[in-house]
A = this chain, B = another copy of it.
Amino acid sequence: MNKSKNDLLPGTLEMLILRVLSLQATHGYGIAQRIQQVSDDVLRVEEGSLYPALQRLLLKGWVKAEWKTSESNRRARFYSLTAAGKKQLGVEAESFQRMIEAIAKVMQTA
């Protein structure tokens, strides 16, 4: 019903996931938790967005996955960055930064 408010800025999810994984390998549920917590609840990652995104990242070879047992003793898939993923994170972060600065210019200067 309430379609007026997106949960996150489109096009940034993969970058956020890569960033979280660059600090610590963890499972999908953990990724969502961390993004939500660190952003003070501003960013919410829905499962229906998260898991497809992780599949895409796997396909592109930017993350790899391994089944393990989670802290709460459940089967969970732990994701971690590959070398290509690390590189990609750098590329995306830089490109994002440029975008933001350009948008800021328009919003202030234009």
How many residues does chain A have at the interface if contact means C-beta atoms less than 8 Å apart? 33
Given A9-B11, A10-B10, A11-B10, A16-B99 contact (CB < 8 Å)? no
Query: Counting CB contacts under 8 A, is A103 at the interface?
Result: yes
The prevalent SS among residues of A at the interface is helix
Complex alpha-carbon distance, A25 and B103, angstroms: 19
Query: Counting CB contacts under 8 A, is A57 at the interface?
Result: no
> Does the CB pair B110–A20 fall under 8 Å?
yes
**Sample of 21 A–B contacts (CB below 8 Å):** A6-B11, A8-B99, A9-B10, A9-B11, A9-B100, A9-B103, A15-B107, A16-B106, A16-B107, A19-B106, A34-B110, A35-B110, A38-B106, A39-B106, A40-B105, A42-B102, A43-B99, A43-B102, A43-B103, A93-B107, A96-B103
